[in-house]
Amino acid sequence: MSTHFFGLNDRSFAYSHSVGRNEFSGTGFRNPVDMAVGDNDVMYVVNRGYEYRTDGVHISVVTLSEEYITEFGSYGAGPGQFVWPTSIALDAQGNVYLADEWLNRISVFNGEGEFLRSWPDGFDGGASDDASGRMIAYGSGPDIPAGKSGSGDGELDRPAGIVISKDGTMFVTDSRNHRVQKFTLDGKFLGKFGTFGSGPGQLNMPWGIALGKEGNVFVADWRNDRIQQFTADGKWLASFGQSGDGVGQFNRPNGVCVDDDGDIYVADWLNNRVQVLAPDGRFVTALKGDHVLSQWGKDKLNSNPDMIRQRALAYSHNPGYEKSFNHPCAVKIDGQGRLAVLDHFGGRIQVYTKSKDPVLV
Amino acid sequence: MADENIALMAHLLRRSGFGASRDEIEAKAAQGYQQTLDDLLNPESQPIIEEDLVFRYNPSYWQSAAIENNVQAWLYTMINTPRQLQEKMCLFWHMIFCAGHSKIDSGYEMGRMVAMFREHGMGNFRDLIYRLSTSPGMMYYLDNTESHQVAVNENYGRELLELFSLGAGKDEEFNYSEDDVKACARAFTGWNNAPAYPPFPYGRSPWEFRFDPADHDDGEKTFLGETGPWNGDDILDIICKQPATARFLARHLYNYFVADDAQIPAWRLTPPQNLDLIQEMEKAYFDSGYDITEMLRVLFNSDTFKSESVRFAKVKSPAEVVAGTLRLVEEHREIKLGLFQHSQEPKYMGMDLMNPPTVEGWHTGREWIDSGTLVERINYASDLLGNTELPGVKGLINRLMSRGDSLSPETFVDGCLDLIGPITVDDGTRSELVAHAQKAGDLRHGSSSEQSDFTRRTGEMFQMIASTAEFQFE
């Protein structure tokens, strides 16, 4: 149970280490957008890549101890492929669920990356030839048609965030329908909540989504610049934050998670910070990034010695730049209670530990 | 005969921006020339691109080192910004204040320079050229980072005078001497960049300009007849008050917006096509204290600009071909997949955006056309205009259908020419188009098979028009 000291900072977070570097494949990440926590320190990281370099589009499997395990998935519309991946979640069996907001579908893999199924039905891919016949550098590939979208029950229009509860219910932020939908893990529609707007319980292009220990749902209400809290049945409970860059304000928050103390972590995307809120929404602290070279980062520099000197000069001029978050896009709590922050531009995860004791200030 | 208001508005929107759909042309024509021009000249009065949405679906655009992402993002802005003249001026400055990715090797820095042109390109020229002279990308591109008090590199100093402000000469006189170049370069010593993070392992940091007084030559210099311990700031002040600078800007604006002119190396010996208009713009430059928008106001209000003689008398640049066609057919008017391939098209047509061939930039006018680029231009436009599923093409076909239950081949051809431009082709070309249309007779759209045939034939006719010589002009 958290203790509040008159609004002063009663939590402390210690930077532990970083994982990753910018890389199109292998030991690094390319424009990552989300991650999921598995057993035994394992993280599944979604690499969005970009249209020009589709070889960067895949899921990386690494550990928070910076061990590379594997990667799977590729760019395309076929089974097990994806185009605009946005979010990832694991079920109790360790299966991997991936939301794709271009194909408007959820793809399911086992923990080793073997494709199992996708839903909803209605788009099975198939575009695989470049109709123009022109080879594009690095294989941008065909102009893949968007997946079928809809606003009916169980239909999706740019699914943005997914999370799975202990009882196997999937919550999906259905961003262009401005709502949350609930599904079974094989895609059966269970319910929905939220409508377009800025009032309590209304949503505007929601993105990240998380569950609290008690099962409440926390939604990063992206274009309303706030976090909203609901019961699992969709009853509105609270809204935290407003537009801005001040304390407790947000600029397009996209990632959210909640720890066992009920503290809320928000990736405050365009403010380049992570804000920590107490369970009642009170601002606790903001993390700006404390990065130190990861082992993979050191490896990269050691193989590019010309950049060692260049980086050293830059570091002496502006040591804060490399430390800082640069478009943080996802926050997660791992099995050890550590906070992992995924940095979109930096291609890295910054890991923090939380002190068990309140800070006496 | 096309409606004159529509034709004039289409001309204004082609030149002051990247063209428009027929719906937009008619809406602006109803609003009137003067109101439309006021809106164009006051971009802040128009909405801005919603950057959060752009980054939402293209998160890689943020600080992207890849030049392709930056070109793609720029094309999206050309197509979609309501501030069309602002974007056209952004391209204008990119074509004059040339720096290229081939040396800079940072797509993000190229994107930042373009963003600077967007933000300041319609403001005060003294302010703009100061920003250029403190642009870390430009300092690196033209070797000012290698120019030191004890070892001057004259590259930036020379290009600042020859290609960025005065021009080599006017009215058969030279605008500056070799001694002026040397003095200018000395004044810019110490204008340098701070060290930046390399691309690996976490991405480049934004480059920063840094003035190093210890590396600056603060000795006395004589520049364009004025003597003093000039720094770069003083040089820019002296440059901006030169009649040659006003002439340089006026000729560039005329060449870009009104009619193809001789290229800059020829300006010393080749007089302007329309000296009266050039001098009016020069006067606006000085009267307004170097305000670019006031020069544009004179240009767009001039009888010369509005006259029929300058319409379709200027060869489209590749960027105008691509962005203009996409706007006409209303493709990529929302954020979606597939823009990358379009963003590469200007390069295939001879205009590698953000990577000009030299510091002199691209030569314009008929130099855009050769046997290779012409084929690319025609294929690109005809592919899109022949795609009857695209919203803009569908809209044009519906408009054509609304002109009658039955269209003769002549009416059909004239209707297509009107809706795509309005564009006027020479008699021989029109005869060929009509002869082709006559092969299948009148067009009707009563039944579903007639509608299908009408649609197919219209798409085909649009493709043929896209293949005419006239379509290469704007």
pLDDT tens for B150-190 read 999 999 999 999 999 999 999 999 999 999 999 999 999 99
- Minimum-distance CB partner of B59 among A33, A304, A348: A33
In this structure, is residue B458 part of a structural domain?
Answer: yes
In this structure, is residue B413 part of a structural domain?
Answer: yes
User: What is the CA angle A94-A98-A99, rounded to 5?
Assistant: 150
Q: Name every chain A residue with its beta carbon within 8 A of the beta carbon of B57.
A: 84, 101
The position carrying tokens 């002040």 is B237
Tell me how close the Cα of B49 comes to any Cα of chain A, in angstroms: 15
In this structure, is residue B28 part of a structural domain?
Answer: no
Q: Is B195 within 8 Å of A314 when comparing Cβ atoms?
A: yes
In this structure, is residue B404 part of a structural domain?
Answer: yes
Q: Name every chain A residue with its beta carbon within 8 A of the beta carbon of B342.
A: none
In this structure, is residue B85 part of a structural domain?
Answer: no
Q: Is A326 within 8 Å of B203 when comparing Cβ atoms?
A: yes
Shortest CA distance to B207 belongs to which of B279, B257, B137? B137
Which of A27, A33, A46, A50 to substitute to test the interface with B, most B CBs within 10 Å? A50
Long-range contacts at B365-368 (CB < 8 A, ≥ 24 apart) = B365/B255, B365/B260, B365/B261, B365/B263, B365/B314, B365/B315, B366/B260, B366/B315, B367/B263, B368/B315, B368/B316, B368/B317, B368/B318
Tell me how close the Cα of A75 comes to any Cα of chain B, in angstroms: 12
In this structure, is residue B179 part of a structural domain?
Answer: no
Average pLDDT over residues A62-91: 97
Distance of alpha carbon B127 from alpha carbon B134, whole angstroms: 11
- Higher-confidence position of A6 and A240: A240
Instruction: Give percent of chain B above pLDDT 90.
Output: 98
Count how many domains chain B has: 1
Chain A CA closest to residue B210: A317
* A217 contact partners, CB below 8 Å, separation of at least 6: A163, A171, A180, A209, A210, A211, A229, A230, A231, A232, A234
DSSP 3-state helix, strand, coil percentages of chain B (rounded to 5)?
60, 5, 35
Long-range contacts at B415-418 (CB < 8 A, ≥ 24 apart) = B416/B458, B416/B461, B416/B462, B416/B465, B417/B465, B418/B2
What pLDDT score was predicted for residue B2?
67
Q: Name every chain A residue with its beta carbon within 8 A of the beta carbon of B194.
A: 317-318
pLDDT tens for B320-369 read 999 999 999 999 999 999 999 999 999 999 999 999 999 999 999 999 99
Q: Where are the beta strands (DSSP E) in B316-456?
A: 406-407, 443-444
- Minimum-distance CB partner of B201 among A21, A50, A143: A21
What pLDDT score was predicted for residue A128?
38
* B93 contact partners, CB below 8 Å, separation of at least 6: B117, B121, B128
- Minimum-distance CB partner of B341 among A136, A317, A345: A136
Average pLDDT, rounded, for chain B: 96
Average pLDDT, rounded, for chain A: 91
Which of A19, A22, A51, A176 to substitute to test the interface with B, most B CBs within 10 Å? A51
Average pLDDT over residues B99-110: 96
Q: Is A327 within 8 Å of B336 when comparing Cβ atoms?
A: no
Q: Name every chain A residue with its beta carbon within 8 A of the beta carbon of B202.
A: 21-22, 291, 297, 322, 345-348
Indicate the pLDDT class of residue A125, thresholds 50, 70 and 90.
very low
Average pLDDT over residues A273-279: 96
Indicate the pLDDT class of residue B233, thresholds 50, 70 and 90.
very high
pLDDT tens for B264-301 read 999 999 999 999 999 999 999 999 999 999 999 999 99
Q: Name every chain A residue with its beta carbon within 8 A of the beta carbon of B60.
A: 31, 48-50
Instruction: Give percent of chain A above pLDDT 90.
Output: 88
Distance of alpha carbon B113 from alpha carbon B94, whole angstroms: 8
Burial class (CB in 10 A: 0-12, 13-18, 19+), B44: exposed
What pLDDT score was predicted for residue B33?
98
Distance of alpha carbon B416 from alpha carbon B420, whole angstroms: 6
List, in sequence order, the alpha helices (H) in chain A.
295-302, 305-317, 319-323
Tell me how close the Cα of A52 comes to any Cα of chain B, in angstroms: 7
Q: Is B66 within 8 Å of A49 when comparing Cβ atoms?
A: no
Is the omega angle on the peptide bond into residue A32 within 30 degrees of 0, that is, cis?
no
What pLDDT score was predicted for residue A238?
98
User: What is the CA angle B26-B30-B35, rounded to 5?
Assistant: 115
pLDDT tens for B374-421 read 999 999 999 999 999 999 999 999 999 999 999 999 999 999 999 999
Is the ipTM of this structure higher than 0.85? yes
Q: Name every chain B residue with its beta carbon within 8 A of the beta carbon of A102.
A: 337
Average pLDDT over residues B12-25: 96
Q: Name every chain B residue with its beta carbon within 8 A of the beta carbon of A314.
A: 195-198, 205
Sign of the dihedral defined by the CA atoms of residues B76, B81, B83, B84, in that order? positive
Tell me how close the Cα of A1 comes to any Cα of chain B, in angstroms: 36
For residue A132, give both structure tokens. 């123009």
Distance of alpha carbon B79 from alpha carbon B382, whole angstroms: 18
| CB contacts < 8 A (A, B) | 113
Kindly report which listed range (A347-361, B131-145, B224-238) carries the lowest average pLDDT score.
A347-361
Give Rg (Cα) of chain B.
Answer: 24
Q: Is B52 within 8 Å of A296 when comparing Cβ atoms?
A: no
Give Rg (Cα) of chain A.
Answer: 20
- Minimum-distance CB partner of A347 among B52, B58, B202: B202
- Minimum-distance CB partner of A144 among B199, B337, B339: B337
In this structure, is residue B465 part of a structural domain?
Answer: yes
Which of B63, B68, B200, B352 to substitute to test the interface with A, most A CBs within 10 Å? B200
- Higher-confidence position of B3 and A132: B3
Q: Is B201 within 8 Å of A140 when comparing Cβ atoms?
A: no
Tell me how close the Cα of A81 comes to any Cα of chain B, in angstroms: 15
Structural domain that includes position B429? 391-472
Amino acid letter for position A3: T
Sign of the dihedral defined by the CA atoms of residues A180, A186, A187, A188, in that order? negative
What pLDDT score was predicted for residue B451?
97
Q: Is B62 within 8 Å of A291 when comparing Cβ atoms?
A: no
Q: Is B58 within 8 Å of A83 when comparing Cβ atoms?
A: no
| Crossing angle for the helix pair B292-301 and B275-287, to the nearest 10 degrees | 150
Which of B54, B58, B60 to substitute to test the interface with A, most A CBs within 10 Å? B60
Chain A CA closest to residue B57: A84
Indicate the pLDDT class of residue B112, thresholds 50, 70 and 90.
very high
pLDDT tens for A308-360 read 999 999 999 999 999 999 999 999 999 999 999 999 999 999 999 998 776 66
What pLDDT score was predicted for residue A355?
85
Q: Name every chain B residue with its beta carbon within 8 A of the beta carbon of A24.
A: none
pTM: 0.95
- Minimum-distance CB partner of A346 among B203, B339, B340: B203
Distance of alpha carbon A203 from alpha carbon A222, whole angstroms: 8
Shortest CA distance to B268 belongs to which of B247, B240, B290? B247
What pLDDT score was predicted for residue A9?
56
- Minimum-distance CB partner of B66 among A53, A304, A322: A53
Sign of the dihedral defined by the CA atoms of residues A15, A16, A19, A22, in that order? positive
Chain B CA closest to residue A28: B201
* A318 contact partners, CB below 8 Å, separation of at least 6: B194, B205
Burial class (CB in 10 A: 0-12, 13-18, 19+), A189: middle
User: What is the CA angle B63-A37-A75, rounded to 5?
Assistant: 50
In this structure, is residue B450 part of a structural domain?
Answer: yes
- Minimum-distance CB partner of B201 among A252, A297, A327: A297
What pLDDT score was predicted for residue A121?
75
Residue A53: strand pairing partners: A50
Pairing of strands A81-82, A74-75: parallel
Average pLDDT over residues A256-274: 97
